[in-house]
């Protein structure tokens, strides 16, 4: 997979997470079997691929693991209205910052 394709897919996924969280906050109720489970199944592998991204002095293995953990939590929490907006924004900002760093530094393959 090319660097741009990987980055674009991760960026699109983060945008989809944001869209789903907005829907949940507006009162939309996601069905677990038809909407949440397929979304998680489809995107878990993509997020886990972050573990394979090259490292630099800032994006080290510990940071990569943390980005994956935070992204996975966003994948699940974005469907729940009662997930804290403040916590959501912190996690979103963290993942977004590191995705931008990996793209800027050419780390995503």
- Predicted pLDDT of residue 108: 81
Summarised one tens digit per residue, pLDDT across range 45-86 is 999 999 988 889 999 999 999 999 999 999 999 999 999 999
Domains and CATH numbers, the chain: 3-104 (1.20.120.440)
0.85 cut: is pTM over it? yes
Instruction: Give the C-alpha separation, 67 to 63, whole Å.
Output: 6
């Amino acid at each position: 997979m090319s660097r741009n394709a990987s980055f674009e897919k991760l960026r699109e996924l983060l945008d989809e997470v944001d869209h789903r969280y907005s829907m949940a906050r507006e009162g939309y109720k996601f069905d677990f079997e038809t909407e949440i489970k397929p979304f998680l199944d489809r995107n878990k592998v993509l997020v886990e691929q972050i573990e394979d991204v090259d490292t630099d002095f800032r994006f080290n293995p510990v940071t990569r693991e943390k980005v994956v953990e935070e992204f996975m939590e966003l994948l699940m929490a974005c469907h729940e209205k009662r997930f804290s907006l403040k916590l959501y924004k912190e996690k979103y900002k963290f993942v977004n910052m590191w995705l931008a760093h990996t793209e800027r530094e050419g780390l995503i393959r």
